Amino acid sequence: MTAETTQARDPSWDQRLLHKGSPPGGLKPEYQELKFTLHRKLLDQINLDALANIDNDRIRAEVRQAVRALVDSEPTLLTASEKYVIAEEVLHEVFGLGPLEPLLEDPTISDILVNGWRQV
């Protein structure tokens, strides 16, 4: 039995992976592990020296495409919208400040106070 078959037969696998049902203030370890795996694979795949000679917009487009391809290649039970969300989270970690990026992009937020890893 392959890993994909096991995951397809385990209806709780996708629930364990996603935010749903996660403890307050935290993500499921499986979700974090998938993000870590995608991030690591992305860094293994890209040539950082070649990126030095390319403009920022093109770099972001190329890396976004690579992340989405990696997400699609992972044997998960994620929906298309969930794959989009995790790809964007990986991009925020690569190009910015990770989970703070959506807050930085929000024009209605003027201050961000980080009181600890559980409270922003």
Whole-structure pTM over 0.75, yes or no?
no
Position 73 in a domain: yes
Which structural domain, as residue segments, surrounds residue 41? 3-105
Position 44 in a domain: yes
The dihedral sign for the CA sequence 116, 106, 93, 85: positive
Which pLDDT does position 23 carry in this prediction?
43
Query: How do residues 83-94 score in pLDDT, each as one tens digit?
Result: 899 999 999 988
Which pLDDT does position 65 carry in this prediction?
92
Alpha-carbon span 49 to 66, nearest angstrom: 17
Query: How do residues 20-73 score in pLDDT, each as one tens digit?
Result: 444 444 567 888 899 899 999 998 888 877 777 888 888 888 888 999 999 999
Number of Cβ within 10 Å of residue 18's Cβ equals 21
Position 74 in a domain: yes
Position 120 in a domain: no
Query: How do residues 6-20 score in pLDDT, each as one tens digit?
Result: 444 444 544 444 444
Query: For the chain, how many structural domains are there in total?
Result: 1
Q: Which residue has the tokens 């397809």?
A: 8
Which pLDDT does position 56 carry in this prediction?
84
Position 118 in a domain: no
